[in-house]
Amino acid sequence: MYWDSMSPFFWFSLLSLCSSCFAKSKPNIIFILADDLGWNDVGYHDSVIQTPNIDRLAAEGVKLENYYVTPICTPTRSVLMTGRYQFHLGMQHHVLVAQEPRCLPLDEVTLPQKLKESGYATHMVGKWHLGFCKWDCVPNHRGFDTFFGFYLAVSDYFTHTRQCHGHKFAAWDLRYNDEPVGPKYENQYSTMLYAKKAQEVIRGHNSDRPLFLYLSFQAVHAPLQVPEQYSNLYADKLKSDEERRIYAGMTTCMDEAIGNVTRTLKETGLWNNSVIVFSTDNGGSRIYGASNWPLRGQKGALYEGGVRGPGFVTSPLLNPSVRGTANRELLYVGDWLPTFVHLAGGTTEGTKPLDGVNQWETISQGTKSARKEIVHNIDPLRDLTRRPIDEPYTEDVPFDVRVAASIRVGHWKLLTGQKGDHRWTTPSDKGYKEEESEHGIVVLFHIMADPEERNDLSTCRPDIVNRLLTRLSFHNKMVVLPEEVFSNRHQADPLNFNMSWTPWL
């Protein structure tokens, strides 16, 4: 058929063709989140734990060696979903508990909602932990086309239940969209189950649309549970450390599951136009077998062991010059939303002011980071007002140093108030030992020169201390305090919902 180049039909057809080509060029985005994975718990960080798939993927892509999350679970997931600091959401104080009548604020625009605007199919598998008091709060009502997983912080890996009534009862916490499906999958180990469901999403995906898959593993969060064939791999190397032996088995099992998922991406041909991101949600929990060595602290701490996490990006779309490299530019979990929206050809219009920045050029080309600052947290509800302190707050200090807070500007990092676990803990396979150090209410470190945070420079660099306190004061003006809510055990009781954890408001 001959089309006159001046005809409206010609231009409409050309525009449609270009739009179709552009749509197909949008990459699939696969975000894999581990739970409580420590810095020293991946093979490429000189760990005793075997993670061959993670190591291979990281070696083929870009290792993020200066990448930060938040100290605990719910805040990190809040930042990931919104691109906004947790203290701008009122989600900075603690994790959401089972019967708490609040969730990620419903007036926040989420990452899957923004990707849907660009034509993406959006799917979530695994742990949510951003609240479920109302149906409007749960994943398939917050932008995900489908959801298979659980709502709470923890669950039995085999039974998919969470205990209640003082451990007298166990209630199901596993759903496909709004439907409870726990009994159907009893005795299927969750790590492999979630990988299997992610593989089903990939195989069933219509490649005419780009895919966003959020695979949020329960692993390697407590309880310490894993099929014996995995923990037996460490029977010799970790025979005197049962917690770490089981934890290591859980991590290796998760690594195998990740290998299964990436293999399916390749088998379906989706790999060739995919960006795969791997991250932890916070530092590892030492009491449950994790190791953040040689970093200071652990999960819950504002020290590096609590907020600096293993992560990498792998993709055929990366510039060949950066593949196999370690990126040491400053990156933050809040950067994924604007980065992914950029990859999707979308816009961040319609969101509240973002704290994340687009980092695709930094990751894919090796350019300088677009970020110079990270506020690790400001939590006015966690302060030292009820404790004797040597340096009481005075009006001439820009920021109330009794408040638990931490900020990173360039290579400088300041911590105030309660900071969490301050120890350095060497894992048992490297000759277990713990070191402690006195620390004041205000401490300052140069992270590039001192990543282990051993040398407090606050007394010799008061100029830097004052500059960073001034920045904390600026951010503190925009802090949103958590709502004062109390759990309603009667309304939320799983006994009211056929022994399932279910939205109740």
Q: Which residues are marked as active site? A: 73, 129
Strand order in the sheet with 62-64: 179-180, 175-176, 146-150, 121-127, 211-216, 28-34, 274-280, 311-314, 62-64, 325-327
Q: Helix, strand, coil shares of the chain as percentages rounded to 5?
A: 30, 20, 50
Longest dimension (CA), the chain: 86
| Alpha helices, H only, 150-289 | 190-203, 228-231, 242-267
Contact 227, 187 (CB under 8 A): no
Three-state secondary-structure class, residue 232: helix
Q: Which residue has tokens 């604007």?
A: 338
- For 489, which DSSP code? H
d(CA 206, CA 266): 15
Cα-based torsion angle of the residue sequence 91, 93, 98, 100 in order, rounded to the nearest 10 degrees: -70
Handedness of CA 465, 95, 136, 480 (dihedral sign): negative
Beta strands 62-64; 325-327: pairing state: parallel
Backbone phi and psi for residue 120, each to the nearest 5 degrees, phi listed first: -80, 145
| Alpha helices, H only, 335-420 | 336-343, 360-365
